[in-house]
Amino acid sequence: MKKLLTSFRDYCYQELLVQKDQQHAEESYQFLFGAALYCYYAVFLSIIAIIQWQLRIPVPAIFKHNFLVIIIMAVLMHMPFYFFIRWLLHQLSAIPLQREISHDKLVSWRGKAALVYGLGLALMCLVPWGLTELLK
């Protein structure tokens, strides 16, 4: 798993390096890495929401009309993902970025990255639908 995540991190860096310059790649590859993995966290949040809805757990009244409370709760819901990505990138930082790769390897990584993105998007659609159908 660590090899897959390291390869994906390196792909994010290389893709940004090809599109822009080294400074942009250095600053933005972590965001691209986290954005790709966010699909999987969104699946987790939707599972929690569907279970709450199916169990008919009421939403507290304070959340219904108070915009500030809604914003605070949204930030608190996404903080675990932020800290997880920071921790994951810290763990992967022990392995240095591949700064020079061949064009063939980049093309190979593009296919794998498309699979990571595609699987995340598919799960974002199919898991909530499947869980809703299962719990009817």
Ordered by start, the domain boundaries in the chain are 2-134
pLDDT of residue 31: 92
Which tokens hold the place of 44?
Answer: 């987790």
pLDDT, tens digit (0-9, with 9 covering 90-100), for 41-86 = 999 999 998 888 888 888 888 777 888 988 998 899 999 999 999 9
Give the pLDDT score at 42.
Answer: 92
| Angstrom distance (rounded) from CA 13 to CA 68 | 36
Report the percent of the chain where pLDDT is more than 70: 100
The CA angle 75-5-100, to the nearest 5 degrees, is 115
Give the pLDDT confidence score for residue 62 in this predicted structure: 79
Q: Write down the pTM of the prediction.
A: 0.79
Give tens-digit pLDDT for 93-111: 999 888 788 888 888 888 8
Q: In this predicted structure, what is the pLDDT of residue 83?
A: 96
With bands split at pLDDT 50, 70 and 90, how would you rate the model's confidence at 4? Answer: confident
Mapping DSSP to helix (H, G, I), strand (E, B) and coil, where does residue 22 land? helix
- Encode burial over 97-131: b for 16+ CB neighbours within 10 A, e otherwise: beeeeeeeebeebeeebeebeeebeebbeebbeeb
